[in-house]
Amino acid sequence: MKVNAEELSPTKKRLEVEIPPPQVKETVESLYRNLNKRVRIKGFRPGKTPRDVLERHYGDYIKEQAISNLINETYPKAISQESIEPIAPPTIDSGALNLEGPFTYSVVVEVRPHIAVTGYTGLRLEGFKGKVAAKKVTAELERLRMMYAPVKQVEGRDLAQKGDVVLIDFHGLLGTRAIRDGKAENYLLEIGSGTMVPGFEEGLIGKKIGGQEELRVSFPADHPRKDLAGKEVTFQVTIKEIRQRVLPSLDDEFAKDVGDYKNLKELKEKITEDLQKANEHKLKEELSHAAISQLLQANPVEIPSYLVQRRTDELLQDLRMRMPPQQQNFPPEEEQKMREEYQKIAEREVRASFLLEGIGQQESIEVTTDEVTGRLQEMARVYQRPLEDLQQNSSLVAVVRRGLQREKVLDFIIAEAEVKYKG
């Protein structure tokens, strides 16, 4: 077998493979021998059909099978011989099969580009290093009070007001036609929460228990429901009950109800700590994004189109999974526009991943088994899964390892950068 390799681009290689006549002949003869044992042709005993008869009936089939078998047998050997590691299914041009001569076919494969990353030390970065303001701690305490506040039926008042939790029945009409998914009974809604389309909750303020109210609401032009976007919908609403949250006192007992805290002071300290961690995480994300942008600008690299396409598909699928089932199928023009936008994101992500991997190799930044195990232990606690189950998932372990590698490389880049903090 002869193999000639040609580099078409940093991400594509072309192989021309020539298989010698003896191997071609043996493959064809083997196929005919096996065929003769299996076929039944009138006038001939099993296994005794003459070759010329088999060729008349099955010649094209045998050639197709021979080409397939020869490629399947030699392609893995060819890429191994040339030390090529494809990252995508190959594009094969098989050509014609000459029973008396060699068989030649060509293959184009996408490969990982060899990248020598430059300019990743001494970057100039800026980030907001915010402090935890007292008002943010207070706001979080108020959020917890709302979360843990019991809801009790209002007595002595039959008109709804902002902040009430109302029990309602409603159904929506577009003209005289009932809208899809526009009906509910015994629905609990907090007025002012922003849960419903703008104008719905505001329209309930001042309305009375028991009366059927008619609310006319205009859906925004950019609403996800294309059948309702920019249109006026009439909702028939009945308020059945008015309830109100009873906010607990901010004291030591409240802290104990919220979690394993001795007193209110300890709860406030924990909130402050969590907010500070959130600030640090946001700062790191900000610096990382800026660093990646500078790296991409300083290192223009060609990337495999297959990986970009695959990542684009993943982003679109993720979008679909986050939408209600009835909204997951997009019109062709809208899907094409979304694909173009997501392809830009995918290209950035794939380029960034190659650059960060390249820096990791150049700086010998490695992820240890203990670090992978530690991250899996965190995931096991969060998802309440046995650690052993996660460790046996090779795909998950690989994803975790790549994620940790990325984090360590970005930590290295930021540590080597000139960082100017704001705030």
- Domain ranges in the chain are 2-110, 150-245, 255-422
User: What is the arithmetic mean of pLDDT over 18-22?
Assistant: 95
Is residue 125 predicted with pLDDT exceeding 90? yes
Helix, strand, coil shares of the chain, percent, nearest 5, are 50, 20, 30
The answer to whether domain 2-110 and domain 150-245 are alike in fold is: no
Q: Is the pLDDT of residue 366 over 80?
A: yes
CATH superfamily of 2-110: Trigger factor ribosome-binding domain (3.30.70.1050)
DSSP label of 89? P
Q: Is the pLDDT of residue 52 over 80?
A: yes
132-145 confidence digits (pLDDT tens): 999 999 999 999 99
**Which amino acid is present at 369?**
T
What does the alpha-carbon distance between residue 377 and residue 394 come to, in Å, rounded to a whole number? 15
Return the CATH class of domain 150-245.
alpha beta
Query: Stretch 296-319: mean pLDDT, rounded?
Result: 92
Helices and strands (H, E) in the chain, number of each type: 11, 11
Q: What is the pLDDT of residues 214-273, one digit of tens each?
A: 999 999 998 888 889 899 999 999 999 999 999 999 999 999 999 989 999 999 999 999
What is the predicted pLDDT for the residue at 181?
85
Q: CA of 26: how far to CAs of 50, 66, 300, in Å? A: 18, 10, 49
pLDDT of residue 423: 67
- The average confidence (pLDDT) of the chain is 92
Q: Which two tokens stand for residue 271?
A: 């909130």
Q: How confident is the model at residue 328 (pLDDT cuts 50, 70, 90)?
A: low
Plot region of 36 (φ>0 → left; ψ -120 to 50 → alpha; else → beta):
alpha
Closest CA to 271 of 138, 128, 382, 131: 138
- Of 1.10.3120.10, 3.40.950.10, 1.10.357.10, 3.50.50.60, the CATH number of 255-422 is 1.10.3120.10
First-last CA distance in the chain:
67
**Phi first, then psi: what are they for 364, rounded to 5°?**
55, 45
Q: Which of 63-72, 187-196, 275-284, 327-336 has the lowest mean pLDDT?
A: 327-336
In this prediction the pTM is 0.73
Does 324 have pLDDT greater than 80?
no
